[in-house]
Structure 1
Amino acid sequence: MTDQEGRNNEGPTSRLLRNEKSDSCFRVNHYPPCPDHWEVAASGRNLIGFGEHTDPQIISVLQSNNTSGLEICLKNGSWVTIPPDQSSFFIIVGDSLQVLTNGRFKSVKHRVLADHTKSRVSMIFFGGPPLDESITPIPSLMEEGEESHYKEFTWFEYKKSAYKSRLADYRLGLFEKTPAQ
């Protein structure tokens, strides 16, 4: 997929993101320091700045200041801190890209912890398709005879479903052909 899209700007995901009706957006997040919560840190618990979730879009591109806080969840359920680096971008696979690749790429569950002494600022681009776009596996990525793991749906249908769910819910489960275990 990357090689194909690198040669031109007409690859399947580029087409969705570059479309003038794309549902992409840019957001700046500010997580102020929480100095009154030393007792939380002293107890070994985490102070959540933004709860665990996956991004529903195709892809998210994140850059932050040098304050830590971003964590990703591994398959075994443990959380790993992503070291802050204000000169780098962090790419997050979204739920829609998981469907477009028929599960080859997995959306990444992540969260943000609040710092007790420093503000965290992040800028994030959420790359979303047009609202009426069907979200189905990209045919060129499918093996001969391979079945889609997901029911066909539009980006609007997925957003509507996501807004009705809780942040930490596994939202793709409603669209899987075989329910998640």
Structure 2
Amino acid sequence: MTITEIDLSENKGKVAMQIVRACEQYGFFTVVNHGVPDDVIQTLEYESFHFFSRPMSEKMAAGPDHVKPYGYGCNTIGPNGDVGRLEYLTLSTNPSSPQSIIPMSQLIPKRRLEFCNAACEYVDGVRKLTCMLLSLTARGLGFDKASILTDLIRNDNSDSILRLNHYPPSIDNGIGFGEHSDPQIFTLLRSNDVPGLQIYVGNDEWISVPPNPSAFCVFVGDTLHAMTNGRFVSVRHRAITNSSEPRMSIAFFGAPSLEEWIYALPGMVTPNRPLLYNPFTWGQYKANLYSGTLRLADDRFGIFRVGSSST
């Protein structure tokens, strides 16, 4: 198969339909001419490499004493003990959170101000891009108001996350981050010019996504899957390590506020597509996510499925 690449400089009606088709087919596409300045992207990548180059004792200062899933981590991924070959730094983008960029930057060794400024500029640019994509998605689905999706990210209490992933070279090209889907609405990921990302396309087939530093990869998350009543695919993906070069990926996980109710959008429930999930809040779904080793939407939605004995 060919990865769908969407040029955001083209006709917006055409782009909206391309996004919907890609979300329905595999839940994944890439975008170019996205409007996030190159210098903003390059600056955060530079600061990220600088952070991960520091001694372990310095990096750990931003790590285990902080509320999961935020702060620095290495190899063990998340609260459920998943294991990967990477190190990462996870930050809240909610300014009122003690785990957000500004307070957490004070724990980062060296170049604190430079890192903080770079991360804040990046989040500002990628949040705007996420809202643009959600606006186009709403248009492609036939909604008159883009706000039906964009308000979820623009909310002052949005639970969106910025995550920096560093994959050191590994001699055997092993699994850097195992198979999973993202629980949020949209994930926007940018990586350096090193291969490693793979997406699942069915029939036990994984395909590699060619690296393109000028593009953003866009993943449909579980929440958008639920809001479209299963019409959009919550894409499974994983990362493979490279034998000779380090890979850096920077991900923005666009999420609603913890109190936001998630339910099927108007028109998504039809006689041919009956309701799949009972309404739930993002906070409830997030709590269920962290209650066990639940890597995929099929497992995470268990208690929220229509007809589930737990609902």
Give the aligned partner of residue 63 of structure 1.
190
1:139 equivalent to 2:285? Answer: no
1:33 is matched by which residue type in structure 2?
A: P
Correspondence list, 1:44-63, <5 A: 47-63=174-190
Shift of 1:168: 3.0
2: CA distance between counterparts of 1:51 and 1:29? 13
Q: Who is 2:281 aligned against?
A: 154
1:86-135 deviation per Cα after TM superposition (whole angstroms, max 9, x unaligned):
00011000000000000010100101011111000011110001101111
Q: Deviations over 1:64-105 (max 9, x none)?
A: 001110101112121111111000011000000000000010
Quick check: 1:107 aligned with 2:234? yes
Closer, same or farther: CA 115–102 of 1 in aligned 2, 3 Å: same
2:272 and 2:143 mapped to 1: Cα distance?
A: 27
Q: 1:127 aligns with which of 254, 265, 272?
A: 254
CA RMSD of aligned residues (A): 2.4
The question of whether the paired residues in 2 share the 8 Å contact of 1:52 and 1:167 is answered with: no
State the alpha-carbon separation in 1 of the partners of residues 190 and 262 from structure 2. Answer: 27
User: TM-score, normalising length from structure 2?
Assistant: 0.50
SS in 2 for 1:98: helix
SS in 1 for 2:301: helix
- Specify whether residues 6 and 139 from structure 1 end up closer, same or farther in structure 2 by C-alpha distance, changes over 3 A only: closer
CA shift for structure 1 position 48: 0.7
Q: 1:129 to 1:167 in 2, by over 3 A?
A: same
C-alpha spacing 1:78/1:13, structure 2 compared with 1 (3 Å): same
For the residues of structure 2 that align with 1:110 and 1:4, how far apart are their CA atoms?
25
Whole-Å Cα distance in 1 between the matches of residues 304 and 235 of structure 2?
17
Question: 2:148 pairs with 12, 15, 22, which one?
Answer: 12
Aligned to 2:139: 3
Where does residue 306 of structure 2 map in the other structure?
A: 177
Give the match for residue 32 of structure 1: 168
Give percent identity, aligned residues only: 41
CA contact (8 A) 1:9 1:15 kept: no
Q: Against the structure 1 CA distance between its residues 131 and 3, is the aligned structure 2 distance closer, same or farther, given a 3 Å change threshold?
A: same
Q: Deviations for 1:126-149, whole angstroms, at most 9, x for unmatched residues?
A: 000110111111124444796421
Aligned to 1:87: 214
Tell me how far apart the structure 1 counterparts of residues 232 and 250 of structure 2 sit (CA, whole Å). 23
1:103–1:15: structure 2 CA closer, same or farther, 3 Å change rule?
A: same
1:33-77 deviations in Å (ceiling 9; x for gaps): 12xx3xxx4xxxx50111110000011001100111010111212
Spell out, residue by residue over 1:13-43, the C-alpha distance to the aligned partner (whole angstroms, 9 max, x if none).
1011111011011121111112xx3xxx4xx
Q: Measured at CA, do residues 5 and 101 of structure 1 come closer, stay the same or move farther in structure 2, by a change above 3 Å? A: closer
2:258–2:281 CA contact under 8 A, matched in 1: yes
Unpaired stretches in structure 2, ≥5 consecutive residues: 1-136
Which portions of structure 1, spanning 4 or more consecutive aligned residues, are displaced by more than 3 angstroms?
4-10, 140-147
Contact 1:69-1:115 within 8 A present in 2 as well: yes
Q: State the 1:4 CA deviation.
A: 6.8
Whole-angstrom distance in 2 between the partners of 1:172 and 1:125: 22
By how many angstroms is 1:167 displaced? 4.9
What amino acid maps onto 1:103 in structure 2?
Answer: G
Larger RCO (CA within 8 A; separation ≥ 6): 1
